Amino acid sequence: MIAYDDRSWLFLLLFKKKGSVVPRTLLFAIPSSFLALLFLVVEDYWSDWRIAFEVDDIKESQVWTATMFALSTLLGFRIRQALGRFWEGTSLLHQMQGEWFESASCLFAFSRATVKTKKAECISFRHTLVRLVSLLHGSALEEIKEDASVTYEVFDIHGLDNETLRYLQRSKDENGFNRVQVILHMIQVLMTVNLDSGVLKIPPPILSRVYQTFSRGLVNLLNAKKITDTLFPFPFAQTIVILLIFQVFFTPFMVTAIVSSKVWAPLLTFVPIFGVFSLNFSAGELEMPFGDDDNDLPLWEFQAEMNLSLMMLFT
């Protein structure tokens, strides 16, 4: 995601290329403007070409208005959906991170009473917990990431025993289990075992809230995964593309039938084409917030924040 200062001079934003949709938009707006200029040049040498092609009444036609209205409606719908998906994506990630950190923090607090009486068991529980929660959060980000091959930095997993590491490896590679669900189950088992052993000095009804908080984090993850799995409906996207291409060719016809200036006609053609393509490309950038584009959410920062928060528990 690109950070910028909206209080700075407006013209500074014009020359910011990173994450901009302007270069792609110009690939359509500039040829359409040149097409308008071409129509005017043809009209200089063949003034009756519109009559010959039976398009002389184009300036009185309602086709351009109707198609632009339909395109604007679809673009408005797509932009609202894209902004909703983007905002929901960042909200769900923050909620997931908050739920899981709160759970880890509570477990650290619940084990405080046994720091002196069962020091070795308590330290082992805390270190295992932190590594599992860090791995849980990193695995969750991998699951919602558009490119599933991307990995995220987690706490030293070699701090886990070999049996646990082998179990995680078999669960993912051999059995095809969901790694996030496996790790969450391991954390729940870890909590139960340490409750029975007396490391967690807390009444079971209070500890049950931690189970619920971990579960709410998983629900937030599944809701975020819904964004990754569900694309903008293809029929809408296809219709928008057809109308956009139609406008690239039809707008110069309409503008040059009204404006004869070789300066204003290309300019008046450029503006609407630039506008609709910019809106469509912007919506496409925001629809998938968990990708690798410059405008996508910085998932690695979410993981770094989570690791830093977990490290704070040891101070």
* CA-to-CA dists, residue 235 to 153, 179, 238, 249, angstroms: 39, 34, 5, 22
Cα separation, 277 vs 248, in Å, equals 10
- The residue among 194, 199, 131, 130 whose CA lies nearest residue 165 is 131
In this structure, what DSSP letter does residue 263 have?
A: T
Which pair of structure tokens corresponds to residue 25? Answer: 């938009």
Q: Say how many Å lie between the first and final Cα of the chain, rounded.
A: 31
Contact between 257 and 58 under an 8 Å Cβ cutoff? The reply is yes
| Dihedral Cα 57, 62, 68, 74, nearest 10 deg | -150
Q: Tally the residues of the chain.
A: 315
What's the pLDDT tens digit per position in 86-137?
999 999 999 999 999 999 999 999 998 888 888 899 998 999 999 999 999 9
pTM (two decimals) = 0.84
Cα separation, 188 vs 169, in Å, equals 19
What's the pLDDT tens digit per position in 45-87?
887 766 666 666 666 567 788 888 999 999 999 999 999 999 9
